[in-house]
Amino acid sequence: MLSSRIRDKRYLNDLDEYLKKLLGNGNIVAILLYGSLSRGLAKPYPESDIDLLIIAKKLPGEILERKIQASKLKGIPMAVDDIWLTVKELMEGVEGGWGLILDALADGIPIYDPEGILKAAKEAVEKRYRRIGKVWVLNLSYTRRSP
């Protein structure tokens, strides 16, 4: 599925290299590719980046510490722009209507989701919201069911 959307193999190679490091970590529970690569709209290599939503069991509380952790894992500079969240933070982002998460879940490609976390989050987005153009709005039927 990825190779049909990502035409330039260099993006696939970078992604594959990073995924091997991520999945060897033991802390990762889900990975979602989103952005231009997932939509098949990437610019020629290396003009686009590889956007990943990475869901982990445990993460440092500070965003800077998460960035440091990700940089160490990458080892070398890569065209990867990753957002690290816990499962709780992912679901809070869905509940709170964080546009980036809603867009990523709606349009992205799950790369790794053995526990169905991304699937459940996407289903929650589909139940709670609808997209009108680039804007997310609450489904009226959802708000009526909520107290």
Q: What is the mean pLDDT of residues 117-140?
A: 95
Instruction: Compute, in degrees rounded to 10, the torsion defined by CA atoms 88, 92, 95, 98.
Output: -130
Domain extent for 47:
2-145
pLDDT of 87-102, one tens digit each?
999 999 999 999 999 9
- DSSP calls for 35-46: STTTTT-PPSTT
Q: What is the CATH number of the domain that holds 127?
A: 3.30.460.10
CA distance 147 to 142: 10
| pLDDT for the residue numbered 144 | 46
Structurally, how many domains does the chain consist of? Answer: 1
Distance of CA 114 to the CA centre of its chain: 15
CA distance 92 to 84: 14
**For 10-128, where are the E strands, in sequence order?**
28-34, 50-56, 80-86, 109-112
Please say whether the beta carbons of 34 and 62 come within 8 A. Answer: no
> pLDDT exceeding 70 applies to what percent of the chain?
92
pLDDT of 56-71, one tens digit each?
998 878 877 877 777 7
